[in-house]
């Protein structure tokens, strides 16, 4: 990896996202630094998703369409297709602010070399800026270190050589399991960057199916937290609030 010019891939998993993609594409086309690739892992959409993605006016667009069994399966495929030193995940309804790629590249260039494992920026969620390192992991799992998995976090792509790809054991929280796996490793490095990368759209399964999310995150926490009884109490209290 060339420290002065870290290459970035933006990875999006899609499925019948034709009505959502134009806003995302517009935010990618508006980047002040266009030195990145966009990798779209499509789950064999029946609408115009693939055609819209391929029409994006970007230096490098890679679209791979085939059936998959989950968003994480699609993201894993996208990671294998990507060529960047780092990658960002963007949902089809998310958007990057115009200076996001430039800010990520600058922060990676200025970070202690050979570069962090994870670079976490802030993310706008429901009108509120969510910053990295804003809560202890025992309370927020992987989000104790990052602002949000999508939009605001750049991961070293070669981390998957060491920690595997997103696990199919977690339908909703495979990203949290991956972040916790990385941060539990000796010598893991994370840099919290002082910029807001973009806007995360609330509407995916993690936001809509709260019970599934709480259950999956609880399972992740049981793998990493020492005081499992305390995690059980937290889980019960969170479920009770949803009833």
Question: 76-105: per-residue pLDDT in tens?
Answer: 999 999 999 999 999 999 999 999 999 999
Give the model's pLDDT for residue 210: 77
Residue ranges, the chain, pLDDT below 70: 1-5, 203-208
pLDDT of residue 202: 80
Phi, psi angles (nearest 5°) of residue 153: -130, 130
Burial of residue 22, with CB atoms counted within 10 A of its CB: 0-12 exposed, 13-18 middle, 19 or more buried: middle
Entry pTM? 0.94
Sign (positive/negative) of CA torsion 93, 148, 104, 59? negative
Would you give the distance in Å from CA 69 to the centre of its chain? Answer: 18
Between the CA of residue 79 and those of 40, 159, 203, what are the distances in Å? 10, 11, 23
**Is residue 49 within 8 Å of 21, Cβ to Cβ?**
yes
- Predicted local confidence at residue 1, as pLDDT: 41
Place of tokens 């939009």: 151
pLDDT in tens, 92-140: 999 999 999 999 999 999 999 999 999 999 999 999 999 998 889 999 9
DSSP 40: E
pLDDT of residue 224: 96
Could you give the dihedral angle defined by the CA atoms of residues 154, 155, 157 and 160, in that order, rounded to the nearest 10 degrees?
-160
103-to-9, 33, 139, 143, 144 alpha-carbon distances in Å: 14, 9, 29, 21, 22
Return the pLDDT at 242: 86
């Amino acid at each position: 990896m060339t420290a002065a010019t870290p290459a970035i891939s933006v990875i999006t998993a899609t499925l019948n996202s034709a009505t959502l993609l134009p806003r995302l594409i517009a935010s990618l086309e508006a980047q002040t630094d266009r030195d990145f690739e966009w990798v779209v892992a499509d789950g064999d959409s029946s609408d115009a998703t693939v055609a819209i993605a391929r029409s994006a006016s970007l230096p490098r667009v890679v679209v791979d369409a085939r059936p998959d069994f989950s968003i994480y399966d699609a993201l894993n495929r996208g990671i294998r297709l990507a060529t960047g030193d780092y990658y960002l995940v963007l949902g089809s309804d998310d958007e990057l602010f115009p200076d996001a790629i430039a800010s990520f590249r600058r922060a990676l260039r200025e970070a202690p070399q050979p570069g962090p494992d994870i670079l976490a920026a802030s993310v706008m969620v429901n009108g509120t800026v969510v910053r990295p390192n804003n809560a202890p992991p025992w309370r927020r799992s992987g989000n104790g270190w990052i602002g949000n998995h999508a939009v605001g976090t750049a991961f070293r792509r070669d981390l998957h050589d060491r920690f595997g790809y997103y696990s199919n054991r977690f339908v909703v929280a495979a990203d949290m399991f991956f972040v916790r796996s990385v941060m539990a490793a000796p010598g893991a490095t994370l840099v919290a960057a002082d910029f807001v990368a973009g806007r995360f759209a609330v509407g995916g399964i993690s936001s809509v199916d709260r019970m599934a999310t709480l259950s999956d995150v609880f399972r992740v926490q049981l793998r990493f937290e020492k005081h499992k009884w305390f995690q059980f109490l937290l889980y019960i209290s969170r479920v009770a609030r949803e009833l």
